[in-house]
Structures are given as structure tokens and as C-alpha cells.
Structure 1
Amino acid sequence: MEDTLVYLDISIGEDRIGRIVCQLFDEKAPKAVKNFISLCTGDVTVDGVGELTLKGNIYHRIIRNFMIQCGDIIYGNGKFEKSSQIGTGGCSIYATEQELGSDENQLKCYGLFEDENMGEFTEPFLLAMANTGNPNSNSSQFFITVAPQPHLNGKHTIFGKVLYGKHVVRTIENSPVDSDGFPSSCVKIDDCGIWNDSMDVPLYNACNNTIGGDIYEEDPNDDINFDPEDSSKAYEATNTIKESGTLLFKQKDYQNALLKYKKSLKYVNEFIPEMEVNKDNCILFTVLKMKLYLNISLVYFNLKDNDNCITYTTYLLDMENVPDLDQAKAYYRRGNAYFAKKRLEEALNDYKNCQLKNPSDKVINDKIDLVESQIEAQKEKTKKNIAKFFS
């Protein structure tokens, strides 16, 4: 029997973030899986609670390097507001009319069911049932780990793992929270249900297009497609991501090209070896970093984001041993950004530096003439205004 796949569509505040797809362990944790599937599909309604669903539920506890938790469908559905109650409730499909009608329950946590698959938390992205701290006290709350958690071994039902959308989990993990782990902005499950291979895995704050062979996770430490200790394989992956961005750039898909280039830059910063450890690969990664700074600056210029174009060209110009032609490109692009911002003196300075680094480029002469003429025109206009003021 194949494991069931479910999806959770996540938003933070007013922004859609993307989809998490989870593989459920049907055979290892059948009761937990059956419950979770129903919570995702909303196919069960109980008197006194209503529809049991994760749709509209908020993440109420987020702890970096530990886990993200939600599923309180008693107090965590609807209005985004911190309270002493949120995180204390829950209701599974196994709740009975008798317990729902009873006033004896101190916690509004109904339908408690048995522990299953009390395994080891040796890796991130495991789905597990939250409980009240007692055996066999599972309800509807669950959490996703974001790192190995050996202190939880044998204490919680592990009923699935994240298959796709790990970057969405990381985005939730890194969202601002207060001292109790309650998020500053509403982190919510907008939609959920059964997932299959014909469906998409939308992602809104990164690009998961596999064009050019980019099969790699957004966050370098989460990828399992190559050995991170193999510097050559890491470079190959990093360069593939960069080339994926270039293919998107050629399609004029500038926003996604930018996301790819920035993803590649994250891989560079994660995997570049020290010169003393691996000189050849250190040089390869450094050259790739230079190309990425140039590419990112060009994308920003095409997106009319002149400030970031200036930022990334400056990053390149601050590096050591940058080839003259690459320096010329950086000066030219930064000059164009300054010119677009009407900062003519700075534009002229960069165009002249470009000319020094690449004297054979005839286009730069025209740029210099253009800026100098505009500077002179400004000076003349200023003189006339001053003369008019004193006349």
C-alpha cells in the first residue's frame, strides 16, 4: 500500500508562502494518519465543535532549531490572537458525544487516542503528534521538526515527513515570534487536502522551477541530492542553479531569475572551501560568486531596482582579484543605476572607471559625453536661476 500524501497551503500575514506536501506513514501510525487525513479534508463533523479541519488553523508555537506547531482546532481556528488558551485545545475524529458533553475535562482536548510509532527524531522535517505530556494523549495538535531532536525519542507518535516544501517550513521557522514562540504575524493553513503527482507545489518566496536541471532544495543544508562534503559535487550543484537562473533570464522572467541567482549565492556561501583546504575549488566558487554578483545586479537593473543594482555591483567591486573586464561591467552597471537615479556625478565617475578598465569599449565614450553634457546643462540652469534671483 502506498503512503497517503497531503498538502498544507501556508500564508504569513497577507502573503502567500507556498505548499507543504507531507508523506504519511499509513502502516506505522494508522490511527494518527486516519485522523490527520480527515483534518486535512474536513470530512468529519462533530456536535459541539463543528467541522474538524485544519483549514484556517494557525501555527501557535514556533521555535527556531526545534519545531513548528499547530492543530489546536478548538482555540486556533479563526481570529489571530494570542491567549492563554491557544495551544491547550484539540479534537480528533475519535471524540465521543459523551466526552464532548462532559464538564469534567480540564483541557478542551477531545478524542485522545493511543501512541504509535514512538520512534527516533534523527532528522528534520518529521511530522509528529503533540500530546498533553501523558501517554496516549494525542488529539489534533501536531508539529514538524526542523532539526534532529533526540530528546523527543520515544515520546511522540511520528506519523509522516515533509516530502516537498521544505523551504516553506524554513520560512515559518524563521518568522518573527515573541518569547513564547507565538508569531508576530498570522501563520495560517489557508487550505489543505489530499495531494497527488498531478498537482503543483506552489512556492511564492522562492523559485522551484527545475529548468536547467535545478532539482536542489532552496536551503543548502536541507538538500540530499549530493554529498555536502564533496566540494566538486557542491560546485556542480551551485553552478547548475546559476545556469537555471540564466535560462529564466533569457526568457525575461527576471523575478524568478533573481530568486535562482540568490539561491545559487546561498550555496556558494555555504560550500566554498578555504583556500588552504581546496585551492582549485575555492577559486571556482569565487569566480562563480563574481558572476552571480554581476548577474544579480543586471536583473535588479532590469527590474528598475537601482538601489539593489548599486548594492550588488559594489559587492563585486569590493572583492579582491576581480578581472578588469568584470570590474568594467560592474562600473558600467552601477553607473547606469546612478544615472537612472539622476546622480550624475557618481554616474560619470563610474563610467570613467569603466573606461579605464576596458578602454576598447566605444559605447562608454558616448555615455561619458551624455552625462557630461547633462552636468553642464544643470550648471547652466543653476547659473541662470541664481542670476534671476539677484536681478
Structure 2
Amino acid sequence: MAKIKPQALLIQSKKKKGPSRIGLMTIITWNLIIILIVLSLYATYRHWHHRSSNGQGIILPNSEHSESSGESRKFNIPSYAVLVTTKGSITTELFKDASSDVMDKFVELCQKGHFKNSLFHHVIKNFVIQGGDSQKHEAVEDWISKGKAHGQLSVSPKHEAFMLGTTKASRDSKGFDLFITTAPIPDLNDKLIVFGRVIKGEDIVQEIEEVDTDEHYQPKSVVGIVDITLKQDL
């Protein structure tokens, strides 16, 4: 058998171990794939950048309420309001889906101590007790007189006993009247906005309802709100 020279063996070894050439089509294919990936990433970036600049995709406080009612909240509405009165405490649950104007104003006034030492200036048995601002004493008397003039008024299921509300005029004025119903009341949908209900202290409401009043439904003895405390949890 003939011997192969060392130089020939080296040449033969290099031929076997040398890398295979990459075809032109393979290079073109991989370049196209890379270009497509880059374009896809750029398009995704433009999409999310556009959404962010328009304020979409960002979850804001009270966004669920804003979408459902079309109104924006000025304050984060608490769950409860505790009315500390001269007769005892009345705990009310606040309706967070109530009018934004009314709820924001109520919370703001509570935080400023607006209701401290305010009076229940109208008390009408089997109807309402009225506290807060005393600039419009005629409100409840006007409702009563109109009801008597037109005979028996229809009862609204919305206005049940022990509901917390205010007059619609409160949203446009500096004052704020508070009403707590003591029975299902005549239909006052055009007058009253309900924004909460009593969940504890119904006996205190009834005790206030029983105070002696004059012919204008004003209590003969002093009975009022010492303060109102807002709470998220009881």
C-alpha cells in the first residue's frame, strides 16, 4: 500500500473540516425575516405611544363611575357619613352613584366642618326632618301646603323611610339642606335628590321626629347636628 505524504494528509483534512458555504437565497431569507421583525416592533411601539398620548388605556380613579354617568368626581367619595346629633349618632350609607355635584359638595362641606352645630330647623312627623342651612325655611312648608292643596299625593317608591337627601337647589347655591325621611314620602322627584340611607340610628331619627314643634314645624327645643364624620369603613 502506498504511503500518503504528510502534506497531502493536511490538505485532505482541511477540505473535510472546512465550513460549507451559505447560499445566497438563505442570506436573503434571513434578512427579510429580520426586517419584518423590526417593522413589527416599530408598529407596536407607535400603536401604544398613540394610545398613551390620547389618555387611553390609563385607569383613573372613579373611571367606572365616570363612564357610566358621564360625570367626573372632584373627591373620592367615602362609603359612610356619621351624623353626630344632640340626640345620638345616625350612620348613613352614601350612594356613590348619586349626582357628582351633590356628592362632591356634601363631602367638601363635611371636610370644612360646615355642618358643625347646625340645627334641625324643620321637623314634620311622618314626613321628614330637615337640617343644615336654614336660609330656606319655606322649602318643606311649601311642599306640605302644595300637597294639601292638591289632595293626597302619590308616593314614590324611591323615597322610602330613612333616606338621606337634599334639595336640587343645593347644587347651585352656597348652602346645603339635609333631609332624612321618616316615612315613605309624597313624590318629590322634582325637588329632592336622594344620596344615602340610614343604616344605624333609626331610633335617633324617630326621637328627633317626636320633638315638640310650633305651627311652622320648627322645634321648640334645640336639636341639631354636632358634627358629621366621613368614613370608608365602620
TM (normalized to structure 2)?
0.53
> How far apart are residue 4 of structure 1 and its match?
2.1
- Residue 349 of structure 1: aligned partner: none
1:32 Cα shift? Answer: 0.9
Query: Are residues 154 and 20 of structure 1, via their aligned partners in 2, closer, same or farther at CA, if it must alter by over 3 Å?
Result: same
CA distance in structure 1 between the aligned counterparts of 2:92 and 2:222, rounded to whole angstroms: 22
Gaps of 5+ in 1: 12-16, 43-51, 77-84, 90-118, 199-391
Query: Once the two structures are superposed, what CA deviation does each residue of 1:198-227 show, in whole Å capped at 9, x if it has no partner?
Result: 5xxxxxxxxxxxxxxxxxxxxxxxxxxxxx
Aligned-partner residue type, residue 161 of structure 2: P
Partner of 1:54: 115
CA distance in 1, matches of 2:130, 2:162: 12
Deviations 1:159-188 (A, max 9, x none): 111121111111111111111110011111
Q: Distance in 2 between matches of 1:69 and 1:147?
A: 13
Corresponding residue to 1:130 among 139, 142, 167: 167
**Counting strand residues as a fraction of each chain, which structure ranks higher?**
2
- For 2:94, the equivalent position in structure 1 comes to 24
Shift of 1:147: 0.7
Residue aligning to 2:227: 191
Structure 1 residue 124 displacement after superposition: 0.5
User: Structure 1 residues 152 and 170 mapped into 2: Cα distance closer, same or farther (>3 Å)?
Assistant: same
Pairing of 1:114-193 with structure 2 (within 5 A): 120-131=157-168, 137=172, 139-193=175-229
Q: Match of 1:40? A: 110
- Residue 55 of structure 1: SS of its match in structure 2? coil
Distance 1:32 1:126, change over 3 A: same
Distance 1:87 1:155 in 2: 14
CA distance in 2, matches of 1:28, 1:166: 22
SS at match of 1:40: helix
Which structure has more RCO (C-alpha within 8 Å, separation ≥ 6)?
A: 2
Indicate conservation of the 8 Å contact 1:120/1:150, yes or no: no
Change (3 A) 1:130 1:28: closer
What stretches of structure 2 of length at least 5 have no aligned partner? 1-61, 63-76, 140-155
Deviations 1:270-312, CA, capped at 9 Å, x for gaps:
xxxxxxxxxxxxxxxxxxxxxxxxxxxxxxxxxxxxxxxxxxx
SS in 1 for 2:120: coil
Deviation at residue 130 of structure 1 after TM alignment: 2.2
For residues 298-327 of structure 1, the C-alpha deviation after alignment (integer angstroms, 9 at most, x for no partner) is xxxxxxxxxxxxxxxxxxxxxxxxxxxxxx
Structure 1 counterpart SS, 2:187: helix
SS at match of 1:60: strand
Q: Secondary structure at the match of 2:192?
A: coil
Root-mean-square deviation over aligned CA pairs: 2.8
Q: In 2, Cα distance between the equivalents of 1:127 and 1:59?
A: 14
* TM-aligned CA distance change 1:150 to 1:71, over 3 Å: same
Residues 221-260 of structure 1 deviation map (CA, whole Å, 9 limit, x = unaligned)? xxxxxxxxxxxxxxxxxxxxxxxxxxxxxxxxxxxxxxxx
Identity of aligned residues (%): 31
* Structure whose residues are more often helix by fraction: 1
Deviations 1:308-364 (CA, angstroms, capped at 9, x unpaired):
xxxxxxxxxxxxxxxxxxxxxxxxxxxxxxxxxxxxxxxxxxxxxxxxxxxxxxxxx
Work out which of the two has the higher radius of gyration on C-alpha atoms and give 1 or 2: 2
For residues 100 and 124 of structure 2, the distance between their equivalents in structure 1, rounded to whole angstroms, comes to 28
Q: What corresponds to 2:125 in structure 1?
A: 64
In the alignment, does 2:79 pair up with 1:4?
Answer: yes
**Paired positions, count:** 142
The match for 1:87 is 137
Structure 1 120/32 Cα, relative in aligned 2: closer, same or farther at 3 Å?
farther
Q: Secondary structure at the match of 2:119?
A: coil
